[in-house]
């Protein structure tokens, strides 16, 4: 893809590989124009430091409809009784760097310095958003992603305390309902997301949803018109 000067160019999604599942292209750049064009088409970047930029469009795709969010009894109790509070767009840089921190499963992270800088650009342009979970005034969990119209593309989350990331998802759902966001893209399936109400749809269904709901217009900070914290 590197020889393509047009930042909106991507191969047709049906060219994505079955193995590794959903790999569509390699190369290009992480400019805001390229990233926004990718999200509009149902494509996202994911690669390690030793690889070129890799672009993915998996089939099936995991999504969450905000109205289908599953708040378990234990999570509802946590939301009612603490120890957490939440904010929006208050610490985007801190959240994405926490998501990039090494996990217990290994030291590698796909969120390298170039990726972080690119998503911080999208945040400054009004497309990127973060949800922060705090405990005793310290960042304990959170998530970040990109909004295009009525779609929120979730990118990554982290948790330093029990249910801290789930609390962030609950706040995200609240923000989506308040802002008429119809769809949360969760990218690939996980048990954690399924337990919260996410489900899989085919890639063709996902693309149809994007055509209906995704619009490339910056929406500015959510902080100025944030809903009440859960």
Q: Are 99 and 210 in contact (CB under 8 A)?
A: no
CA dist., res. 160 & res. 140, Å (int): 5
Q: Kindly tell me the number of DSSP H helices and DSSP E strands found in the chain.
A: 7, 10
- Would you give the DSSP letter of residue 8? T
- This prediction's pTM: 0.93
Domain coordinates in residue numbering, the chain: 13-59, 62-225
Encode pLDDT of 103-130 as tens digits.
Answer: 665 445 678 999 999 999 999 999 999 9
Whether 95 has a pLDDT exceeding 80, the answer reads yes
In the CATH scheme, what is the code of domain 13-59? 3.30.70.3550
CA dist., res. 8 & res. 31, Å (int): 11
Encode pLDDT of 64-82 as tens digits.
Answer: 999 999 999 999 999 999 8
Encode pLDDT of 177-188 as tens digits.
Answer: 999 999 999 999
CA dist., res. 164 & res. 154, Å (int): 16
Share of the chain above pLDDT 70, in %: 92
- Looking at the structure, give the CATH architecture of the domain made up of residues 62-225: 3-Layer(aba) Sandwich (3.40)
Q: Are 230 and 173 in contact (CB under 8 A)?
A: no
């Amino acid at each position: 893809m590197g020889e393509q000067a047009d930042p909106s160019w991507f191969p047709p999604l049906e060219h994505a590989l079955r193995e590794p599942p959903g790999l569509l292209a390699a190369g290009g750049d992480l400019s805001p124009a390229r990233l926004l064009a990718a999200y509009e088409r149902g494509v996202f970047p994911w690669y390690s430091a030793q690889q070129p930029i890799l672009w993915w469009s998996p089939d099936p795709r995991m999504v969450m409809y905000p109205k289908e969010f599953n708040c378990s009894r234990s999570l509802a109790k946590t939301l009612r009784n603490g120890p957490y509070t939440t904010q929006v767009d208050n610490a985007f840089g801190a959240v994405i760097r926490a998501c990039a921190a090494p996990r217990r499963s290994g030291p590698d992270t796909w969120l390298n310095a170039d990726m972080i800088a690119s998503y911080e650009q999208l945040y400054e342009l009004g497309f990127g958003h973060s949800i922060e979970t705090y405990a005793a005034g310290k960042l304990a969990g959170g998530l970040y992603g990109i909004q295009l119209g009525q779609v929120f593309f979730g990118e990554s989350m982290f948790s330093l305390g029990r249910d801290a990331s789930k609390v962030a998802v609950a706040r995200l759902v609240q923000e989506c309902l308040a802002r008429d966001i119809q769809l949360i893209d969760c990218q690939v399936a996980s048990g954690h997301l399924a337990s919260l109400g996410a489900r899989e749809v085919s890639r063709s269904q996902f693309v149809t949803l994007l055509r209906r709901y995704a619009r490339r217009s910056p929406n500015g900070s959510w902080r100025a018109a944030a809903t009440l914290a859960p």
